[in-house]
Amino acid sequence: MFGIMETRTALGAILAHKVSAEGRTFQKGHKLTRENLSFLGSLGISQVTAHRIEPDEVDEENAADLVSRAIGAEHMRIAPAVGGRMNFYSQADGLFIADKKLVDIFNSIDHAITFASLPDRISVKAGEMIATVKIIPLAVSRSAVEAAASVAGIGCMIKVMPFRRYTASLIATQLPSLSEKTMSKTARILGIRLMERNSLLLSETRVAHSADAVAAALKVEIETRPPGDHMIVIFGASAVVDNNDVIPEAIRLAGGAVERVGMPVDPGNLLVLGRVGDIPVIGAPGCARSSSENGLDWVLDRLIAGDHLDGLEISRMGVGGLLKEISARPQLREQPVRGAHFLDRDAVSA
């Protein structure tokens, strides 16, 4: 029962708002004792706003604890409840996974019980907060807590997939227009990207910008692959603009399959995903020569974490796929037009 009650009858009630008097402060959520009531009464504070826990209710901290424990904690740490809130933290660098449908069902059970998390399939660092449970009122019905815990136990609402140890080979194609400095920078930035995901760039091979040359290099890499998880990343000297362009054609010539040419993530549209046997082959977009976030980061996150990735999954990346522009791109998504005049819709309709 929540409301304004007489101080003299509020024994055991939970304060709804902070009360300060004569140098003492009783915080929201404080359970009132006889001494507290005597002190407040002596100061003429005859009423307090509080909640008295009914037999069919659970107080906010116990409710948060019961619900949070039901959610599970795969590669996560759950902090103790404070003020009806329990926070989840990643215990590994990896990929955060959230089941939006299950989270939506959970949040629809009772407005008093809420769950918020990071977006689905976003990379996280060890120690980063990834989700939080918050009980809104000071107490919630036991039936609602049990229902929320039941939904949380249906499946995996959230989890962290730690980055595995991958190795990678880089094949870079050459054209006279591409400088040595740019190629060296590309390899360095790719190496950093991999290291941030617990992985290692083993080698770089430079070849002519032709399907035959890239296919030959692919075959060598496949024959000499190290044990364990391995991938091949190809940086073309010019961008892929067609399914029969140099990189996708080279994958096919090497005996592989092309799963996707192009992705609905920008910067990163011109990415190629393929496989030769069980080895993933990524044709990197030109924007990935920059360290700024782009579509290659999204593909590496999922691949290295062991999340399923194919052409269909890439096609589902459009929502949220409009990333911050990379100013160094040779062709920006918006070109400045000098002296341009834009139509006034109201004027036109008039």
Query: Could you tell me if 233 and 289 are in contact, meaning their C-beta atoms sit under 8 angstroms apart?
Result: no
Mean pLDDT of 92-107: 97
Same domain, 295 and 181: yes
Of residues 166, 202, 206, the one with CA closest to residue 184: 206
**Residue 182: which H helix or E strand, with range?**
helix 180-195
Instruction: Indicate whether 335 pLDDT > 70.
Output: no
> The CATH number of the domain where 68 resides is what?
3.90.1170.30
Per-residue confidence (pLDDT) for residue 101, from 0 to 100: 96
- Tell me the pLDDT band of 57, cut-offs 50, 70 and 90: very high
What's the predicted TM-score (pTM) here? 0.87
Local confidence band at 348 (pLDDT 50, 70, 90 cut-offs): very low
Q: Residue 337's pLDDT is what? A: 55
Residue 335 lies in a domain: no
- Is the pLDDT at 347 greater than 80, yes or no? no
Res. 266: pLDDT tops 60: yes
Mean pLDDT score across all residues of the chain: 92
Q: Is residue 324 part of a domain?
A: no
Within-domain flag for 102: yes
Range of the domain at 116: 57-162
Residues 212 and 115 placed together within one structural domain of the fold: no
Which of the pair, 235 or 8, is modelled with greater confidence?
A: 235
Is 296 found in the same domain as 194?
A: yes
Q: Are 205 and 298 part of one and the same domain? A: yes
**CATH code assigned at 43:** 3.90.105.10
28 Cβ contact partners less than 8 Å away, ≥ 6 residues apart: 15, 16, 17, 18, 83
Would 26 be classed as within a structural domain? yes
Verify that 121 and 218 share a domain, yes or no. no
